[in-house]
Structure formats: structure tokens, C-alpha cells
Structure 1
Amino acid sequence: MTRDRWIVTVAAVVWIAGMLFGTGLIGGGVSAQGGGLFSDEATLIAPDGPAFSIWSVIYVGLAAYVIWQWLPASEGSRWTESSRIPAAVSIALNGVWLFVVQADLVLVSVIVILGIALSLGWLVHNVSEHPRESLTTDIVIGLTFGFYLGWVSVATCANVASYLVGIGVPADTATAEWITVGVLVMIVALVAVLLYRAVHRSLRFGIAASAVWGASWIAVGRFTGDTRSDIVAYAAVATALLIALLAIMMFLRREGRPTGTEAF
């Protein structure tokens, strides 16, 4: 366990270093990189600017997790033990993503964010194998990594779109609009699978809340921003509503694999 704790801590150092670049304290910040490909107006699926404030919530949760997993109170927590390595991978890759964006390596950023999504899926699988433990683990692990995964599910699609625009795929055609609608449908399907696999309500709530947040801000960006599209905007509204409905249905379900417990 001590080895795994140090792995999480080293991952946090990589993450913090990348965050200094991503926030603009060092360098120009994410939105200024890649010739503006990461701005909220670069693609039809880019969420409007305020959407990215969710990173503050996720980062606070990740910091709490790094501290929590060192505390004596985490001893014997199967959630904590089973989450450390996938959590470390997702935390470190967040920092790496911020570094490669600063280097204008847009294709590499797609690969890295896919790695983040896979590591978070791994974490959800591990945690879902164990019964609910406490309100603390619900918040520090369930909600934190649920928020992280739900947001990354939306952000991955936006990242791929940024790469495609960067290599010359038009972002303002009717074809691009309908492709974006198709991607939004895929987000609904992906979130549905994640909600089913995440048997704990804290995970489900986090995943759904951040995905709804992202889809809602995509709608705002397409209704009001410079990159306008009524088709995409209404599809994003429908996406947010469908995910919310799925979340309510899943939230009311009892846990699956772990029996004899009740999720948050």
C-alpha cells in the first residue's frame, strides 16, 4: 500500500506541474494553444467557456483524494486500495495532457485523453466490485472520479473534433453539424453504459451531473456563441435531458454486484 500511495503522490506532482501550464500561470493556458483549436469556439461540440469551471471542482476532489489515501482513516478501505493505481494514471495523464497541449501536439492530446477515459473506466470497474463504505469515500472517490469521468466523456469528443478541425476538416458545414449530432448520440450511449457499470449512486451521480453540465454548455455555445448551430444546440439540449432521465432511472436502481448494501 505504501508503494501505491507514493505512486499516487508522484502522479499528483506531474498533475500539478501540468496544471501550472494549463491555467496560464506558466505559458499561455489551454485555450490559447494549437492555434485556438482548444477554444470554446473552435468546434461545434466545444462547450461554452464557463463549462470549464468544472475543472475547479474536479481538481479540489483530486487533491482531497491524494491526501485522503495517506490518512490512517483510509486503512482497510477497499475502495481506496482498488482505486489507487487507476487514479494515479488518470491524475498523471491529466498533467501530461496539459503539457502536450502546450507543445501543440494535438494528436498526442487525443491519445492521452483516451488514456484518461480508460483509466477512469478501470477505476469505476474496481470500485464497483466492492460494497459501499462511507460518506467520505462516496465524496472523495465516488463523486470526484464520477465528475471526472463524466466530464472527460464529453471532453474526449471535443478533443477529437479539435484534431479533425486542425487537419482541415471544416467545422461549419451541414455535414459537420450532423456528424456532431451523431457524436452527441454516442455520448448518450456511452454515459448509459457507464451509469449501468457504476453500481454506486455516488459514481452515477458524478458521471451524470458532469455529462449533463457539459452537454448543456455545448447547447449554450451553439445558441449564443460565434460558432452557432441550432441543430447542434437542440441536439445538445436533448442529450442533457436524456442523460438526466437515464441518471434518475439508474439512481433509483439498487446496487448490482455487491449485495447487502445500499449505495449513496
Structure 2
Amino acid sequence: MEHPGSTGHRHQLVPAALTAASAVAALVLATFGSGAFGGTAVQDAAGGYLSATATPVSPAAPAFSIWSVVYAGILGYAVWQLFPAARGSGRQRAVRPWAAASMLLNAGWLWAAQVAEPSLALPATMGVMLVLLAVLCRLFALHLSMPAASRAERILSDGTFGLYLGWICVATVANAAALLGFLLGARPGDASPSLPAGLAAGTAAIVVLAVAAGIGVALAATRRWAPLLAMAWGLGWIATARLAGPLTMPEVGLAAAAAAAVVLASGLTVRLRSGRRSPLRRGSREAHA
């Protein structure tokens, strides 16, 4: 006798296979797009505006090692979602197309960065980045709207794309700063570009970092640690880059360190408050039983 859910599993085999293929294609394209096989490395692409010392909010080079974790998670997710339980999951049916889109958009960003002319590369990368951010926000909303069915799903689906979202929040700030610097005629590594209304570059960077910290506080309310950890990682490496290195700006470095601390403290505070409320709820339910 055929299992009642087996037909649905078979129907989802093609979308699951396409998602796995998207992951493989994205990783291959990303390898080429990052300059591993003769292309231009990202830090040297787009006239150097995407390097670790290009703007006051550029993270230090080691920050980008987070991609190793994200890519490992994407590969794990791509394999896991092929299994029957994941193929038959309504949650994964909703998540799968957005996950595949996020993989391909990352590869698209890396290819856009390969364009030699900054006037083309920077607007293109910014456009792709904004679409990618929107896709990851949609994924995050889907994960929040439906509970994970297993620990594997929480780690590979919620965890992977949560890290991805948190890092892209920081990367979007860096990409926007690079584009703005180019439009204002600043050269990569310029600590004091001419900004509108006489605004100092350090002051502008601190405002941007405060906004990033605010986004982290908002994400903390969802009680999801993955995006907070990725944001704190990126902000921490901005702090490291500005406190020591070719583009030293102590006030920006301290602001970035404070932003990272606020993001982590917000997550911890929400978790502790949630932990204190849970026993009270259980006690209330028992009292009324």
C-alpha cells in the first residue's frame, strides 16, 4: 500500500532537486566570481571600493571568513531538503524558492563586482544586494511564521539563513558606503571625504552604526540568535579595522564595538526575560488546571 504522503513527496522532488542544483551552481559561480580562477579578487574589484579599507564602515578582511560557515550551511541545507520529510514539509515548500533565489543572488553580486568600472560595478552590486536583503527578510519572516519540525531544520534552515541575513545587513551598509563614497568623489581609504552640509565622515559612520545596532535590537525581539551573531561578527570586525590598520578612526571603531555589544546584549536580555516568564506561564496554567 502506498503511503498517503508519498505522492506529495514525489511532487516536491523536482523543486527540491532544483534547489539543490541552485546551491551547487551558486557555489561554483561564487568561486569564479570571487576571483579564485583568474578573476579579480573582491577586494581589488570595482576600483578598490569594496576592499576592507575602502570606507569607515568596511569590515576587516577576516570578517569574510563567515562565508565558509554560510556556504557549509547552504550545502547542508541543500542535501537535507532532498529527504522525504523535508520534501513533504509545507514550511519547506514555502521556504525553498526563496532559499534558492538567495543562493543565486549572492553569486550574482560577486559577478557584478567583477565589472572593472566602479560606475557600473557599484550600482550593480548595490542593486543586487538590496534584492538579496529583501529575499532574506522574506525567508526570515517565513521561518518565524511556522515552527521548525526538527533540530536539523532549526540548524540548517533557520540557522543558515539567519546567519546569512545578519551578515548581509552589515554587508549592505558597507556596499552603500562604497557607492556613496564613489558618488561623492572620495577615493578608497579616504578618512575625510567631502560630505554634504560639512558632515564629517566619522560622524556619518557613527550614525550608520547606530542604525545597524537598532536593526539588531529589533531582530533580538524575535529571539533568534543566528542573525544577531552574524551582525555582531561584522560589526566587531568593523571595530577591529578602524581601531588599527591603514584606515584608523578610533571614534568609529569604538562606535562599532559598542554597536556589536548592544546587539549581543539585546539578544541576551530578550532570552533572559523569556526564560523568566516561561515558568510563570507554566505555573499559571497549572494553577488553573
Normalising by structure 2, what TM-score?
Answer: 0.81
2:16 aligns to what?
A: 5
| Counterpart secondary structure, 2:51 | coil
| Counterpart secondary structure, 1:24 | coil
* Superposition pairs of residues 1-264 of structure 1, within 5 angstroms: 1-26=12-37, 27-104=39-116, 105-170=121-186, 171-173=190-192, 175-196=200-221, 198=222, 201=223, 204-252=224-272, 254=274
TM-superposed deviation, 1:17 = 3.4
Structure 1: where are the runs of 5+ without partners? none
Q: What is the identity percentage for the equivalent residue pairs of Structure 1 and Structure 2?
A: 32
Q: 1:79 to 1:248 in 2, by over 3 A?
A: farther
> C-alpha distance in 1, partners of 2:24/2:152?
24
> C-alpha distance in 1, partners of 2:22/2:131?
14
Structure 2: where are the runs of 5+ without partners? 1-11, 193-198, 276-280, 282-289
TM-superposed deviation, 1:253 = 5.5
CA contact (8 A) 1:21 1:28 kept: no
**1:221 is matched by which residue type in structure 2?**
A
Q: 1:245 to 1:63 in 2, by over 3 A?
A: same
TM-superposed deviation, 1:192 = 2.3
TM-superposed deviation, 1:195 = 3.1
> C-alpha distance in 2, partners of 1:76/1:138?
16
**1:192 is matched by which residue type in structure 2?**
V
> C-alpha distance in 1, partners of 2:203/2:105?
31
Moved more, 150-159 or 183-192: 183-192
**2:234 is matched by which residue type in structure 1?**
G
TM-superposed deviation, 1:3 = 4.3
TM-superposed deviation, 1:121 = 0.6
Total equivalences in the alignment: 251
> C-alpha distance in 1, partners of 2:267/2:74?
23
Which runs of at least 4 in structure 1 moved beyond 4 Å after TM superposition?
Answer: none
When the two chains are superposed, the root-mean-square deviation of aligned CA atoms in Å is 2.0
Of structures 1 and 2, the one scoring higher in RCO (CA 8 A, sep 6+) is 1
